[in-house]
Amino acid sequence: MCGIAGLIHRGKSTNVGGEMQNMLQSLKHRGPDSTGYALYGDGSSNNYILRFKVGENVKEGSSAQIEDPSVYEKRVAQVNSEIISAGATIVKEEKATPYSFRYVLKCDDDLLELAKKIESVEMTEILSLGKSLELVKDIGDASVVADQYGLNNFSGTHGIGHTRMATESGVDIRSAHPFWGYPFSDVSVVHNGQLTNYWNTRRKLEKLGMRFMSTCDSELIAVYLADKIRKGVDLNEAMHSSLNDLDGVFTYLVATKDKLGMAKDYMAAKPMVLYESDELVALASEEVAIRTLLPHEIDTHDPYEGEVKVWQA
């Protein structure tokens, strides 16, 4: 089933981490397996924030293995050396869990080369790399993940999130949402639905050099949009073409450093409730999530089939 949520404050920063936690916790019944956040800070620094993992957290149905934590330290050392060899400087290192890390990096804008080097280390996956995006995902509900990664006081303008019910692949971090639009900084996607032309489209994108880290169909949307963006296609246009190129039933949210977008397939088979005001736009699979931000009567509606919308922070 899965639950998705997003919000964007127009022209101001708030505790977007705490707000997203409340929204996602109210959608726990739609997806108890894992929770993910893509939160956007003010992006004023010239440095990049790198979120990556060097191992997996695993539950039912996953083909990934639980490893001895001692291997994580070796991999982190390798990652550090790859970052330096790519010409980047590590400004700050933080360890969120034994397998998950947050780095502040000083580097030039050739993110593809840097990303390739980091991910050349065994079992290492970049969750996000950008100036304002911080992508965190793990097994557990919204509160568990937010507490574990200290997201309760994250200040920013916007964010998207996901509560996952694993249907297409196992319960692990690599299949959890959101997905980063590799290798473009600050692009993330969450999705509710099923894509029926996953393998065909994936093969086409792989031939174009795009990278996949999971067999989760939702990752395809992030990679698809990343491919469009690298070809210079505007986000709105890329989302419109996704409605024709992706088969299945889906509603997805995409965020960039200053935008939040939503798209709904032509069958409108997956839910989305939308609230818009001059200060705030909030969307979720269910209105109860929006009510955690606005606990009074509000005017909401369901976007229609084939609808694409993009809002500016």
Partner 1 sequence: MASIKDHKSHELGLHQEVLTGRTQQVFFNPEEVENFYYYDSYDVDFNKRTTIDVTKLDCVAVNKKIKDLMKKGYGTIVLKNPGAKHSLGVGILNKLNLIIEGSLGYFGVGSIDGPVVRISGRVGWSCAENMMAGKVVIEKNAGSCFGAAIRGGDLICKGSVGARSGIDMKGGTIIVGGNAGAFTGFMMQRGRIIILGDVGPNLGDSLYDGTIFVGGKIGSLGADAVEAEMTDLDRFWLKRKLKVAEINKKVDYSKITKIVSGKKLWNYDNLEPTERKGAI
Nearer to partner 1, 233 or 288 (CB): 288
Considering only residues 67, 113, 276, 302, which one is a binding residue for partner 1 as defined by CB under 8 A? 302
Nearer to partner 1, 208 or 267 (CB): 267
**114 burial level (CB within 10 Å; 0-12, 13-18, 19+):** buried
Q: Determine how many CB atoms are found less than 10 A away from the CB of residue 159.
A: 32
d(Cα 195, Cα 201) in Å, to the nearest integer? 10
User: What are the CA-CA distances from residue 63 to residues 20, 169, 175 (Å)?
Assistant: 30, 9, 11
Smallest distance, partner 1 to C-beta of residue 25, A: 15
Catalytic residue among 2, 23, 54, 273: 2
Q: Return the residue matching tokens 């200290």.
A: 150
Considering only residues 68, 109, 278, 297, which one is a binding residue for partner 1 as defined by CB under 8 A? 297
Query: What residues pair up with 90 in beta bridges, in sequence order?
Result: 105
**Number of residues forming the site for partner 1 (CB under 8 A):** 20
Considering only residues 144, 288, 309, 310, which one is a binding residue for partner 1 as defined by CB under 8 A? 288
Q: Return the residue matching tokens 């890329």.
A: 238
How close are the terminal C-alpha atoms of the chain, in Å?
29
Nearest CA to 54 out of 76, 70, 32 is that of 76
Nearer to partner 1, 46 or 244 (CB): 244
d(Cα 244, Cα 240) in Å, to the nearest integer? 7
Smallest distance, partner 1 to C-beta of residue 193, A: 14
Smallest distance, partner 1 to C-beta of residue 274, A: 10
Nearer to partner 1, 98 or 248 (CB): 248
Positions in 241-280 near partner 1 (CB under 8 A) = 266-269, 271, 273
Active site residue 2: yes
Q: Are 160 and 21 in contact (CB under 8 A)?
A: no
Smallest distance, partner 1 to C-beta of residue 288, A: 5
The catalytic residues are 2
Which residues are at the interface with partner 1 (CB under 8 A)?
Answer: 266-269, 271, 273, 286-288, 290-291, 295, 297-302, 304-305
